[in-house]
A and B are shown apart, each in its own frame.
Chain A
Amino acid sequence: MEASNLLPIYLIGYEIKDGYLIKMNDFCRKNCNSKKCEDHYKKIFASDVGIYECPHGFTTYAFQYGPNKEIFTSFKLKDHFNKKKVKGKFQENIFSPVLTEQQLNDIVVEYLRSYKIALEHNEAVSFIKDGLHEIRGLNGQVLTYSEELVERMNNLSNKKQDKESLEMARSISATSFIIASRFSAYDATVNPESLKLGSKYSTSIYGKFHMCKKCLLGETKRKELRINIRGESTKKINTYQTFDLIPFLLLDNAIKYSPNGQDIDIRFSEKSDELIITIESCGPFLSESEIEMIFTKNYRAPSAIETGVQGSGIGLFLAQQICELHKIAIKISFQKSDYIDKKVTYGCFKVELKLSATP
């Protein structure tokens, strides 16, 4: 992020950069690297802050921000620019009014404010970027250690096995998986190209749903929900790693919006050249027109907002993007019921995934 300079600004080694409001005139564009102009700017860098007239009659204003000297130039300041010298050096289509000292002062204040915001923003982005990379690495460590622990405990004889500790180790593993999935969803939102990074590899779809169900067991128990997987499938397709997000996004969505104590049914129906997976759960009301909007980024249906459940309208958008990438048809339907909870009408929310051929 850059500070917004409304006036042309002189940058050492970069010539003059246009202002967002007042552009540099062609004369300065052509001559700012001439010896005469360079000497003018060198002299200003070595002098005090203040208002100067450039060798060609324009105004230059130098001011201090922290350790740096900033220079606005190539503009006209009332009582400070040379009318005779600048005559004929401005094109008619360039907006360049004569500024008062008060206007210049306002522009400098605004520049300094945006400079401070840009600095803070860039520091924050850099911190987040470094932090995310490190946290994913650490999450990887947690995941690996917990998987190793589960494997070791599984290998113990029944007598020595502490079932409660094994369950805890599994929960750590599952939590780490959820953190990884959340990060991947963030990555895909910020950088859509990340959806198709790497090569494809053979994936068992049934296996992915099954693993996801296990990893979301904690939240499922907390809400006293039951995830039932019916039917089976041996189908394997070639997928990018981001395919793993599909079961996670769909089940996470179902768990999030389902009232306590409900069922979530996943059905696998496999024919010779087709696999249909349906996920049915109890969810807040959706009209036909809202269903049409459901895959739009950041869209949340009014009744979903009314439930008070936090969300950003990203989950189904991403699920649809990933399905499209893998040539999987995704369809949403809703059937209203009589169930009302906290003034929100609920019904059967159904997601259908259809895989016709190996992508």
Chain B
Amino acid sequence: MISSLFVKNKKQARKEIADLTNNNILNDFDITELRKKIEILFVDDENFRIIELLKKHRYNVTYKNDISDLNDALAYDIILCDIRGVGKEFDSPHEGAYLIKELKANYPRKVVIAYSGSTYDTTYTQYFNLADHVMLKDSTIDHWTNVLDSEIKKMVDPVVQWGKIRQELLDKGVSINVVSGLEDEYVSAIMSKNFDSFKNYGADRGDATKNVVNSVVKTLLVQLLVEGIINGSK
């Protein structure tokens, strides 16, 4: 009886993502600081001018004329990919559009933005729908910055990110109980600005769970932001 009450109380004490609803983590943060922290990759066979202009607006942009391996995109948080003239190594007639599909399948938490001059073409619609956003090649600089800033904010928004992490963990077969425990640790880490316990959460689990949790924890951008705030406030 006493032990069951204890378990019940312990369960009630678990923190949930809703506890972060009023968290002001993003409120006082300068968007130009965020722009510097987020790594953006442009994949296009033509080095077009907007890349230089975005660099002037303090975005952390790297340009590649193509990628031959998905690992080439591993280090980046946002990937902008033309739908034509790239992804040639993947040997698909849909070129960059196919690359977008592969990037989303392999890196579900990375933001993949398709940019194109071919939105009239119905054969690409299914690929466009897989991307997080579709940009037209002749968009104004205002539109580019509006979309990129909006995606950057989402990338470091703890609530949005938890939604993605949770889905990824469940998709990879991690049990709901483990996910719920990790949610508790995640919320606590953000509230206390200390990720040590969160990072070790997977350590005493089975290998499969440990690997999945570790891979998620390693690439968590929210942590960077929270630690950035700590550093900034010192």
A137-B48, A191-B119 known; A199-B132 Cβ under 8 A: yes
- Asked whether, in the complex, the Cβ of A180 is within 8 Å of the Cβ of B139, the reply is yes
| List of B residues within 8 angstroms of A309 by Cβ | none
**Is B191 part of the binding interface, using a Cβ–Cβ cutoff of 8 Å?**
no
Question: In this complex, what residue of A is CB-closest to B82?
Answer: A137
CB distance from B222 to the nearest CB of A (A): 20
Chain B residues near A141: list those with CB within 8 A.
48-49
Interface residue ranges of A218-235 to B (CB < 8 Å): none
Chain A residues touching B, majority SS: helix
State A194–B119 Cα separation when bound (angstroms): 6
Q: How many B residues, CB 8 Å from partner?
A: 32
Closest CB in chain B relative to A197 CB, distance in Å = 4
Q: Assess A194 versus B125: contact at CB under 8 Å? Given A129-B118, A135-B117, A186-B120.
A: yes
A147 contacts partner chain B, Cβ-Cβ < 8 Å: yes
Interchain nearest-CB distance for A188 vs B (Å) = 8
* Pair A148/B119 contact, Cβ less than 8 Å: no
A288 at the interface (CB under 8 A from B): no
A82 within 8 A of B: no
Q: A135-B117, A141-B48, A191-B120 are in contact. Are A197 and B138 (CB under 8 A)?
A: no
Interface string of B134-166 (1 = CB under 8 A from A): 111111111100110010000000000000000
| Closest beta carbon of chain A to B99's beta carbon, Å | 16
Check A202–B128 contact: CB distance below 8 A: no
- In Å, the complex CA distance between A136 and B125 comes to 18
CB of B151, distance to nearest CB on chain A (Å): 8
Q: Which residues in B have their C-beta under 8 angstroms from that of A135?
A: 117
Give Cα A31–Cα B120 distance, bound, in whole angstroms.
42
State how many angstroms separate the Cβ of B149 from the closest Cβ of chain A.
9
B53 / chain A contacts, CB cutoff of 8 Å: 144, 147-148
Q: In the bound complex, do residue B49 and residue A193 qualify as a contact, i.e. CB atoms below 8 Å apart?
A: no
Contact with B along A160-188 (1 / 0, CB 8 A): 00000000000000001101100110110
CA distance A241 to B122 in the complex (A): 18
Partner of A144, one of B50, B119, B129: B50
Residues of the B chain whose Cβ atoms lie less than 8 Å from the Cβ of A147: 53, 140-141
Residues of chain B in range 30-57 having any CB-CB distance to chain A below 8 Å: 46, 48-50, 53
State whether the Cβ of A139 lies closer than 8 Å to any Cβ in chain B.
Answer: yes
Q: State A135–B48 Cα separation when bound (angstroms).
A: 13
Residue A133 interfacial (CB < 8 Å): yes
Residues of chain B within 8 A of A199, CB atoms compared: 132-133
Q: List 28 A-B contacts (CB under 8 A).
A: A129-B121, A133-B84, A134-B117, A137-B117, A141-B49, A143-B139, A144-B49, A144-B50, A147-B141, A148-B49, A176-B138, A180-B136, A180-B139, A186-B120, A191-B119, A191-B120, A194-B120, A197-B119, A197-B128, A197-B129, A197-B134, A198-B134, A199-B132, A199-B133, A201-B147, A211-B142, A241-B135, A244-B143
| Further 4 A-B residue pairs, CB within 8 A, beyond A143-B140, A144-B53 | A133-B116, A136-B117, A144-B50, A211-B142
